[in-house]
Amino acid sequence: MSFKIGLDLGSTAIKAAIVEGERLAWHGVKATAPGQENLAEKLMREGLAALGAGMDSVSGIVSTGYGKKLFSSADRHLDEITSNALGAFARSGGEARTVVNVGGQDLKILTLDHLGNVTDFKMNDKCAAGTGRFFELAARILDTPLEEFAGLSLDSKDEIEINSTCVVFAESEIVSLLARGVKREDVIKALHCSVARRISGLMGPCASGFLASEGGIYLDGGPAKNSGLVSALEDELLTEVRVLELPQFTVAYGAALSLDSRAEIFLKPEDL
């Protein structure tokens, strides 16, 4: 047995993917906290133990994400764009052409060609609106677990809008809506629609759906598990939005795959 390990040290969560060949053999996640290197190390060893393996069975370790360089024992530090492209293209069976990654504190739009090469990308990292952090803040204000957002949004009867694109102002807007007696399910659906509009705006020409006809739009990142967001994005883009299996681990999985020579056809860190 020989395993490749990808570690995604993100702003809100640390994800680990242990890969055998191209098979995702194990995956795990821990909340980001001080001492990221130790947390990533423990997560990696936890996964190996679950597989009945030790470090002698590891052929290489690649770290990615905001904290990638904090993991000093990695064989390679790889940028998130390359990791995301590798993971999404492989997990979609080579069908992904547009990938929307909703991260903890940023949004990324990747455009891939038929070989999986990154031909373009856009990133919004100046504001946390529309990101995982945005949903976490809303969940605290609404006193509602994120896992319930999708189901509650289906119960929405009244259409309202949340217009603020800043997290701080959006928080005030949500509080104001609740004070006026607006039901939380209506607020949650409005949140989904607000994020979908933000993604569509960042996509620009991609939002017309012409790229979707050539291979499809794929959504990944932790918030991709929220079917309410997926539905709102489909309504906004007027096309099908597909969700990768285990979307939170796409980047970590791609980092592990980068140990194979095929990673050379993707964008290099110096190109970013």
pLDDT of residue 256: 97
Cα 96 to the center of its chain, rounded Å: 15
pLDDT of residue 105: 79
Q: Kindly report the backbone phi and psi dihedral angles of residue 43, in degrees, each rounded to the nearest multiple of 5, phi listed first.
A: -65, -45
Is the CATH number of domain 94-243 3.40.1190.20? Answer: no
Q: Kindly report the backbone phi and psi dihedral angles of residue 227, in degrees, each rounded to the nearest multiple of 5, phi listed first.
A: -65, -20
* Residue in the block written with tokens 């069975």: 57
Is 94-243 the same fold as 3-86+250-271?
Answer: yes
Q: Number of helices (H) and strands (E), helices first, in the chain?
A: 8, 10
Distance CA 98, CA 206 (A): 8
pLDDT in tens, the chain (272 residues): 799 999 999 988 999 999 999 999 999 999 999 999 999 999 999 999 999 999 999 999 999 999 999 999 999 999 999 999 999 999 999 999 999 999 887 889 999 998 888 998 888 766 666 677 788 888 988 999 989 999 999 899 888 888 766 666 778 888 899 999 999 999 999 989 988 988 888 887 655 444 544 667 999 998 999 999 999 999 998 889 999 999 999 999 999 999 985 544 444 434 33
The encoded tokens of residue 14 equal 């640390």
DSSP3 helix / strand / coil % (the chain, rounded to 5): 45, 20, 30
Find the Cα–Cα–Cα–Cα dihedral 117, 106, 254, 70, rounded to 10°.
120
Distance CA 110, CA 80 (A): 11
Domain coordinates in residue numbering, the chain = 3-86+250-271, 94-243
Predicted model pTM: 0.87
Contact in structure between 194 and 187 (CB atoms under 8 Å): no
CATH classification code of 3-86+250-271: 3.30.420.40
